[in-house]
Structure 1
Amino acid sequence: MEAARAALAAVGVQAMLTSAIAEAFARGRDRLAAGGGVREVLTSVCNRRGAAPCVFVTTGAEWLANAELGEEVFGPLGIVVLVRDGEERLAVARALQGQLTCTLQMDEEDTAEAQALMPILERKAGRVLANGFPTGVEVADAMVHGGPYPASTNFGHTSVGTLAIRRWLRPVCYQNLPESLLPGDLR
């Protein structure tokens, strides 16, 4: 936890896509900070469209008792859930809502517990990672941005992966136009 706090404390403020997204992030961060059962590991001040990383920690029992802790806060915010044992870990995984990603931070000796989690996580997320952090997203063949509800499994509603092109595509038919009037790509 200290290593995560130290590493993230060095990350500067980043601009959110819109003011509304930044405001929603600040409200979500403030909601978690004001709620019971969580402790701040790293918090930051957000202003205008800027946001910096925030990390909170809670117990598995608190997380399971408070569904609000499982609600998404879009932006650089994380909650570390400390579980007492493997059974509580499975209960937390089962209680997850649909996610874009789920990440296992594990050592080799955690493989058996990770194997027990995989059938749950692969039904909860569109991307499952080990010992890393989700990458940014882009329009690329090897990337999808989906998962079970509330994430989207409909390619027409994604902004990443090659199928995202269809979301923003508006076909136009050019009939009997002279070449000089066609878009450059069609000349």
Structure 2
Amino acid sequence: ILAGFIYILVHELGHALTARKYGASVHIVLQAFGGYAAYSGKHMSRLQSFLITAAGPAIQIVLGLVAYFALQSLPNLNETGSHFLAMLAVISIFWAVLNLLPVLPLDGGRMLESILGPARFRITLWTTIIVGVGAGMFLLTKSIIFPIILGMSAWQAFQALQENRRF
């Protein structure tokens, strides 16, 4: 649980510190199963939005690698410490990679949205549907929770396409 809390906090700090670098007013909200960094006060360019979004998974991967290399370089660490570092490494890297899938509302979907811009939002939604369904089917062999999350994202994107055909 502590490893999960740390990875969420570090992830959101990545977003928050990058947004603050661009002059935004930032606050972080942590919840039972996640969190988010909200920023206001300045309109961000598409590049700035992309970098703010990418900073969360990037710092999360760095955290996972630091935990992994700490685990490797501390062979005499007790079982509790070893387990904690192993969980921190696995959770951080796995969730960062999952979060980089180009599926809204995940960071990868937000990054794609920043790259393509509002005029091509329909492509972002279709990408969410295709990747969400495909990755969900693949992950169904691993666990039920990931396909549910990705399936919900794909369904939300499909509904957005149906509600507003202008995309």
Q: State the TM bucket, normalised to the shorter chain.
A: 0.3 to 0.5
Which has the larger strand fraction? 1
Greater Cα radius of gyration, structure 1 or 2: 1
Which has the larger helix fraction? 2
Higher normalized contact order (CA 8 Å, seq sep 6+, divided by chain length): 2
Q: TM-score, normalised by structure 1?
A: 0.31
